[in-house]
Amino acid sequence: MPARVLLPVLGLAGIAGISLADRSGDAAQGERPLPVLLTGEAPFVERFETIDRSFWSVSDGWYNGDYMVNDWRAMQVWTEDGLHIALAPNSTEFADYSSGEIQSGGTYGHGYYEARLRAAPGSGIITGFFTYIGPHWNKPWNEIDVEILGKSPRTMQATYFTGGEKVATTIPLSFDATEGFHTYGFDWQRGSIRWFVDGSLVHEEEGDELPLPNERQKVMFSLWGTRTLSEWAGRFDETAVPTEAVITCVAYSASMNAGGHCSE
């Protein structure tokens, strides 16, 4: 089968799960107004038989800043039974290590995002599956994260950012995320973000502490290390590199119940 399968787009009412009358009714009852519905993008399932450069962009020849031990190099990203992203020693003008980052060319709004992956081990090393948009694209910083910290691979970080402010929660896992493949997902809708692990709901946010993201975002994966963020990520373990994360599938659909998931 092809590496990426585009799926039929549901009608607006099916995607939203709520009518315009419902929305106005919420406001009339004094509840928190729902943000504008962000939808219309074609669902897809990507199994990374290759890297389709018309769909994905691979970061190359730059870095995010001194808080990372690595820069981004396209040579650190390849496909072989899935997408591999490797963090390895490589002295450059920016850093002493290189790693990889991949992002969708297009942006996506409300819907269910899912990936099947094995995270990279090692203290100070972070595997990320997330959506993001920010100042580089003349947009406010909006982001939704699934992050696995190599120092504590039996937990998952569920985080979202709106306007650069964040809400982060540590979720316990019943397994070591660096030892096998598991499916991680988040269902971002107008009134909530729900995080799932292997199909089970593990966390939900409704915007009580911070308004939910309200900008279309790019789908991204990255693997990176840090020395300066040691209180969060742990002391960077040089002996753990080279190390890699492997992603065998990523999917986007209108909602968790819309079908078109990595498990199908």
Which residues are tagged catalytic?
143, 147
CA-based nearest residue to 50, from 1, 98, 120? 1
Residue 98's Cα: distance from chain center in Å?
20
DSSP letter for 163, please.
T
CA-based nearest residue to 193, from 255, 263, 105? 255
Instruction: Provide Rg for the chain, Cα atoms.
Output: 18
Length of the chain: 264
Q: How far apart are CA 16 and CA 236, in angstroms?
A: 43
Q: How far apart are CA 63 and CA 226, in angstroms?
A: 12
